[in-house]
Structure 1
Amino acid sequence: MDTASDGAFQPKEELLTILTSLGFSRNASIKALYYTGNSNADLAAAWVIENQHRSNIDAPLNEDESDVSDEAEYLPEGVDFYKMVFIVNAELNMGVGKTAAQVAHAALGLHRTLLDDPQKFGQMLMSWEQFGETKIVTKGDNVAQLMTLAEKASSLGLPHYIVHDAGKTQIAAGSTTVLAIMGKLDVVDSITGSLSLL
């Protein structure tokens, strides 16, 4: 755990900036980083969402020390953490509703892919469901970039799903709208880590 010279917990500023930019309070973000090992914004965001019911979620960390033992089980040893990342084809300039629908298609399609092969993806799916079902939506430049990212995912053995629109509204039939990729945090980040959040 990262500590300041006085022994107090010191959150990583870059992770804290990401969490607060997502709309989480500074105190909730600090707690989330504390309880999830101060190493990953996705896990910390999932912690905040799962613990938003706590009356003291926005209290400073030092007022919440009694919860430390309860959180020791949040990150068990030897467990792999997974996330889904959705890359939206920005060159299509889809409206907000259209984008939301396309990401939903991608999530369902990828989830069905996982369910269709429980031997290969069962453990991944169970771990993802148990630890927050982390989902991140990012922006891709164009269809060529989405296809390149899909090829990288395939070469690493990651499940992925590409949405091709039916063409009923806004865009031409067959347009590639969203790529969904799932895998271990660090492996997915090696493919999508440089993309901007949507």
Structure 2
Amino acid sequence: MMGIITSTSYLAVFSAGTIVGITSTLTLLKFLPKIRKKGYDKWEKGQEEKFEFEPTAVNDEYRLVLAVRNDLKMQKGKIAAQCGHASVAAYAKILNERPNLLPLWYRQGGTKIAVKIESEDELFKLDEEAKKLNVLTSVIRDAGQTQVVPGTRTVIAVGPAPKSVLDKITGHLKLL
């Protein structure tokens, strides 16, 4: 008798979970087109393969600069992950604060440049210089689960902005 009660309970929980899952999926599908159009007119599957570069003056090309702290001696994989976090954070910030920049940056390939900085102080200086020139920044703080202490500032994303503006902020830095 206990087996029947238990199996009925599982069936009720499974049924409720299925209903919630279907309802959530249908709601998401209903509102997803509105969310997508908020910051970018059209995002299609495989968009990353559709970058078409438009001829522009080199100084007008929109770029995102990722300045990585070299003093932390992070391994290559860690650096790649932190740069990925910075790129996503920069994208989210653009989408929310200046969505008109997104097509300009994407039209030219979504260029990302990785450079090295030697300290947290240098990271703060870049942030300050960018703000003076009205350029977006995103500072990444690590969760501290692997190579660095929790809360360590590892990377700053500067931009996207025209190369001519970014050069005033990061032009003196060496490539990573």
Q: Name the counterpart of 1:101.
A: 81
TM-score for both structures, normalised by structure 1: 0.59
Q: Name the counterpart of 2:91.
A: 111
Structure with bigger RCO (C-alpha 8 Å, 6+ apart): 2
One-letter amino acid of the structure 2 residue matched with residue 107 of structure 1: S
Matches within 5 A, 1:17-96: 74-75=54-55, 80-96=60-76
Counterparts of 2:92 and 2:100 in 1: how far apart (Å)? 15
Q: Name the counterpart of 2:121.
A: 144
TM-score for both structures, normalised by structure 2: 0.66
Q: Name the counterpart of 2:32.
A: none
* 1:184 and 2:145 matched: no
Q: Name the counterpart of 1:161.
A: 138
The SS at the match of 1:102 is: helix
Shift in Å at residue 89 of structure 1? Answer: 0.5
Counterparts of 1:76 and 1:137 in 2: how far apart (Å)? 22
Deviations 1:100-148 (Å, cap 9, x if unpaired)? 000000000010000112xxx2222111101111110000011000100
Q: Name the counterpart of 1:194.
A: 172
One-letter amino acid of the structure 1 residue matched with residue 174 of structure 2: S
One-letter amino acid of the structure 1 residue matched with residue 163 of structure 2: L
Counterparts of 2:148 and 2:56 in 1: how far apart (Å)? 45
Percent identity between the aligned chains?
A: 35
CA RMSD of aligned residues (A): 2.0
Shift in Å at residue 81 of structure 1? Answer: 2.5
